[in-house]
Amino acid sequence: MLHRILLLLSLPLVAICAAAQGAPDASRFIVQGDSLLEANQPSRAMQKYNKAVELGATANALAARARGWYYQGKYTQFLADVNRALALDSLHPQANFQRALYASRTDDHAASIRFTTRALKTAKKPELQRQALILRGSAEAASGRNQQAIADLKLGITDRTDDPVAMKLLARMLDEAGDMAGSLAMLEKLCTIRPDDIGNWSNKGYELNRLERYSEALNALDKALEIDKDEPVVLSNKAYALLQLDRDADAMASVNRSLKGDAANPFALRTRALLYLRKGERDKACNDLSLAKAMGASTDVDDLIKQHCAGLQPKR
């Protein structure tokens, strides 16, 4: 996911002025290289970065050339330059951030957290701070450090909507932390900026179900079904909302369509079992509950089995 991420931030005003005046210094070549890299011209950008390094192998110049190597996927050269930059300045914010990117790419989340933390100690530019927080939050999430991940992702994302990957991750982390309202708020933004993503509508409907806002959940889930009318998870969540609204016939139709697409969905099996119980079809209900338990259902399936299925043998 992070393979091609770059951070092309403006250099200080003095560097831009130097470039405009044609001053033969490294800053001028770094500015030009960054512009070429942003324009997807890596070969020409590397020529500028090489000239900057020739004028002086400083941490700034080496970190700049490392950006070019990373962009091209030349990671051996990238590591050589970024490590040289860090040897010269262990707290260089851009070099630490770039090294953290590589660590995340190789799933070395502990290293990513370490390098982003160093970058944040000295980073002055708001955009670098923001991206470092998001990167550290992503690594923390992958490491199971959920509360730290939520804090960093919130600080990095703020009210912006230009990083849907980070927004989805934060929505998931908030859901796992039991903050359904917070997760829903993020998903509502995602539905606005990415209305063609079925996952956004599906997850929004799921959170609305958890908040017992079933009519609103149906609206979101129907939006998802406009994108894929046969998506099993969406149909299962819709069936649950319909069940809660006492629309049993519609719920049964929806859950049967869900199980046709995925017969091993324990949540759908549980929903159908509840519908069978309402109809007095205890044998069918208990068969579904037994299957749901075997598939790893973690809700109240055991309690339902004890309450309704004592003495019954599940069908095979």
211 and 194 within one domain:
yes
pLDDT given for residue 147 in this prediction: 97
Tell me: do 181 and 234 sit in the same domain: no
Look at residue 106 and tell me if it is in a domain. no
Rg over alpha carbons for the chain, rounded to the nearest Å, is 26
Question: Which of 223, 245, 271 marks a domain boundary?
Answer: 223
Are 306 and 258 contained in the same domain?
yes
Regarding whether 209 and 184 lie in a shared domain, the answer is yes
- Give the structural domain span for 212: 159-223
Summarised one tens digit per residue, pLDDT across range 130-148 is 999 999 999 999 999 999 9
Compute CA distances 197 → 107, 127, 143, 211, 224, whole Å.
26, 27, 27, 22, 8
Please check whether residues 217 and 258 belong to one and the same domain: no
Are residues 239 and 285 both part of a single domain?
Answer: yes
Query: Do 184 and 205 share a domain, yes or no?
Result: yes
pTM, 2 dp:
0.86
In the chain, how many domains are there? 2
Task: Please check whether residue 306 lies inside any domain of the structure.
Answer: yes
* Per-residue pLDDT at 1: 40
Q: Flag whether 285 is in a domain.
A: yes
List all residues 6 or more positions away from 258 whose beta carbon is below 8 Å from its beta carbon: 232, 233, 235, 236, 239, 265, 268
User: What pLDDT shows up at residue 24?
Assistant: 56
Give the residues of the chain that fall short of pLDDT 70. 1-24, 298, 311-316
pLDDT for residue 202 = 98
In a domain, residue 203? The reply is yes
- 5 found inside a domain: no
Pick the last residue of a domain from 223, 242, 264: 223
Does 217 reside within a domain? yes
Same domain, 266 and 237: yes
Domain membership of residue 307 (yes or no) is yes
Given this model, what pLDDT does residue 2 score?
A: 41
**Looking at 174, 189, 223, which one is the last position of a domain?**
223
Residue 302 lies in a domain: yes
Q: Same structural domain for residues 219 and 236?
A: no
Residues 245 and 311 in one domain: yes
What CATH number did the domain enclosing 297 receive? 1.25.40.10
pLDDT for 296 equals 83
The predicted pLDDT at position 313 comes to: 60
Check residue 219 and give its pLDDT: 98
Using CB atoms within 10 Å of the CB of residue 33, give its burial: 0 to 12 exposed, 13 to 18 middle, 19+ buried. Answer: buried
